Structure 1
Amino acid sequence: MVLMKIAIAGTNGLAQLLAHEIESSSTSQFVFLSRRPVEGLAKKGWQVMVVDYRDQRALQFKLAGTDVVLSTVCGDAQVALMEAAAAAKVKRFVPSEFSGNPSRRPTSDLIDKGHRRAIVRLAGLESTGMRFCTFTCGVFYERFGPGGLAQVQIAKGSGIDAEGCFLLNVRRCTAKLPPSRGQDGSSVKVSMVSLRDLARSIVAALKLKTWLEMEAAATMRGRRFDVQELSRPSLVSAISSAQHARDLDKELQLHHLLATSDGWFDFSQPDLNTRIDLQFEPFRSWLQRVWADA
């Protein structure tokens, strides 16, 4: 049995799923790191430690004795957390990098939001002995559920957190798809997973010694989807129009479609799946379940 002291940075839906999974499948201790008290978490009997990511000394003190940091925060706060964790001799760090393949990350700063900088900094901190692992899994099922990712307080400010604003609008039975083939001519694929299964995978991986289809929606709704297929030139033109109109949300949505076509969410050789014994919920089953009463 692996016993660890775990700090979960953030209090959003994924952070809470991680806490639930740690509590139900291990005997490890965990604490939430939050900028402010969260009464709802305290009522569940979960410990919340209020932190100021701008106070490096205090952050290092609060991380003392921590084995693993699971981050669901981004930007400057996450970089500060990395620095403090390395100084506090934390053994493992999981960055908030749960989306597309980092090696295929779009060059646009608009949707990067400091993620590239964070990975580079983490790599630099490995000399301190702190190891890191990214659990990149593609697209969350919850993007296509009622309320979208905003329902679980994830991806705020991304432009694609609301229901129906990325690839599929299940409620309206519409779809807006990027080119089906990438610039190299290969077919575009999208890997997906539910937030719950991601949390299960991360917690299962903590026990390791070393780290390392739209058709379902149409069937479930009982009607054909109104599909709009976009070419690369039309996407580029639409991005330019959105920039001119200063429509940031529209621009973000279009950039994500372009990144999808460029293979950001394609994982042809998953590494973790072969090392943990978990059965993931199929997208079709998940979709039918969450839309059953909607």
Structure 2
Amino acid sequence: MPPMRIAIAGTCGLAQYIANLLATQSYHTFIVLSRNTNPTMAARGWQIIQVTYTNASDLRYTLAGVDTVISTINGDAQLALIDAAAAVHVRRFVPSEFEGSPAVRPIHDVFDYGRRAALSRLQHYESRGMGFTVFTCGIFYERFGPGGMRASQIGLRSAIGGEGEYMMDIRNCKAKIPYYNSAGQPVHVCMMSARDVARFVVAALDLSSWPRELRMKGERMTVSEIVSIGEVLRGRDFERANYTKESLQDDLTVAQALRDDIREQRTQHLIVTADGRYDFGSFNLNSMVNVIPQTFQDWLGQAWSS
């Protein structure tokens, strides 16, 4: 593939991983779209372009000549980015997904954050020549690291972005997991580190064509196995609270009655986990690129080694 010009929208931890890989391990040029000047990222030698997502003409000007847009932003800002990209004939667009497959999400998704509208807009522009691909990876390992995802500048506004706020609290040796789904089967999730997700995305840039969805496999395991790895790391059994789909619904009802928004959101995250939001059984990207992802056990050991 000839060198391409890539635009990365957003400055979160995943965006920075992608930018660093493009800068150090690819021949593609790139720009980073940021709402502010971001001198820290600019100090790395990266081209940071300050944008206002409500200024359509400014966005179109910025994206002129870009081959591929990789978005890590949501909501109206992403919709404006999609419109601008289509207007200047960007060839490929990567929406801000990077979790489970959109196919398994419910129509009325409590954690939509504008994703359905973005995919609908992209489908509209696909017939006009702008392709799009969703990168499906499951849960980020970073949820279980020191400081949680926020320590990697991911999920800064999420109710489960902090350390120990989703399923497993390694520091305090506790776990609250959706042990069984509604069919009475163990709940599985797919997982990968944000750094490895970035490696897959950058490697995929050199593929001649992209399907609608590129699924990557890091780990697929039961939530109980995740906790077991945490227990091995700490050398002790965790205080476990094992929930079924039904008991999680009861917990949600209590949270709503108490008007405890944080508890409600965290319980809803466990419910969608039980519903298979982060589980997918087939993978197509691993065989297309030369990327070997790190295992969860190795990643967790390194993350907590200090």
CA contact (8 A) 1:35 1:50 kept: yes
1:188 positional shift: 2.2
Aligned counterparts, 1:77-226, within 5 A: 77-180=77-180, 182-212=181-211, 213-214=225-226, 215-226=228-239
CA contact (8 A) 2:182 2:246 kept: no
Q: Report the Cα distance in structure 2 between the residues aligned to 1:3 and 1:35, rounded to whole angstroms.
A: 27
CA contact (8 A) 2:178 2:187 kept: no
The Cα offsets for residues 121-178 of structure 1, whole Å up to 9 and x where unpaired, read as: 1111101211111111110000000010111221122211011111111111111011
Q: Report the Cα distance in structure 2 between the residues aligned to 1:204 and 1:80, rounded to whole angstroms.
A: 27
Alignment gaps of 5+ in structure 1: none
1:120 positional shift: 1.5
Superposition TM-score, scaled by structure 2 size:
0.92
Secondary structure of 2:122's counterpart equals helix
The Cα offsets for residues 99-137 of structure 1, whole Å up to 9 and x where unpaired, read as: 122111144543112111111111111012111111111
Aligned counterparts, 1:18-29, within 5 A: 18-29=18-29
**1:274 matched to 2:287:** yes
**Which range moved further: 113-122 or 188-197?**
113-122
CA contact (8 A) 1:139 1:191 kept: yes
* Percent of residue pairs identical: 45
Alignment match, 1:52: 52
Q: Report the Cα distance in structure 1 between the residues aligned to 2:261 and 2:122, rounded to whole angstroms.
A: 30
CA contact (8 A) 1:111 1:252 kept: no
Q: Which of 193, 216, 227 matches 2:240?
A: 227
Q: Report the Cα distance in structure 1 between the residues aligned to 2:130 and 2:151, rounded to whole angstroms.
A: 33
CA contact (8 A) 1:239 1:251 kept: yes
**1:264 matched to 2:277:** yes
Q: Report the Cα distance in structure 1 between the residues aligned to 2:236 and 2:106, rounded to whole angstroms.
A: 34
Secondary structure of 2:166's counterpart equals coil
Alignment match, 2:304: 291
Secondary structure of 1:274's counterpart equals coil
Q: Report the Cα distance in structure 1 between the residues aligned to 2:284 and 2:266, rounded to whole angstroms.
A: 29
**Which range moved further: 120-129 or 90-99?**
120-129
Which structure: greater strand fraction? 2
The Cα offsets for residues 188-238 of structure 1, whole Å up to 9 and x where unpaired, read as: 211000011000000001100111231221111111111100122221122
Alignment match, 1:69: 69
Q: Report the Cα distance in structure 2 between the residues aligned to 1:203 and 1:246, rounded to whole angstroms.
A: 43
Q: Report the Cα distance in structure 2 between the residues aligned to 1:64 and 1:22, rounded to whole angstroms.
A: 19
Alignment match, 2:218: none
Alignment gaps of 5+ in structure 2: 212-224
Secondary structure of 2:121's counterpart equals helix
**Which range moved further: 151-160 or 107-116?**
107-116
Superposition TM-score, scaled by structure 1 size:
0.96
1:87 positional shift: 0.6
Secondary structure of 1:135's counterpart equals strand
**Which range moved further: 106-115 or 137-146?**
106-115
CA contact (8 A) 1:197 1:280 kept: yes
Q: Which of 211, 232, 238 matches 2:251?
A: 238
Q: Report the Cα distance in structure 1 between the residues aligned to 2:101 and 2:267, rounded to whole angstroms.
A: 18
Q: Give the counterpart letter for 1:177 in structure 2.
A: I
Q: Report the Cα distance in structure 2 between the residues aligned to 1:225 and 1:167, rounded to whole angstroms.
A: 12
**Which range moved further: 103-112 or 67-76?**
103-112
Q: Report the Cα distance in structure 2 between the residues aligned to 1:77 and 1:248, rounded to whole angstroms.
A: 25
**Cα pair distance change 1:267/1:2, threshold 3 Å:** farther
Corresponding pairs, count: 292
Alignment match, 1:30: 30
The Cα offsets for residues 8-33 of structure 1, whole Å up to 9 and x where unpaired, read as: 00011111100011112211111110
**Which range moved further: 108-117 or 66-75?**
108-117
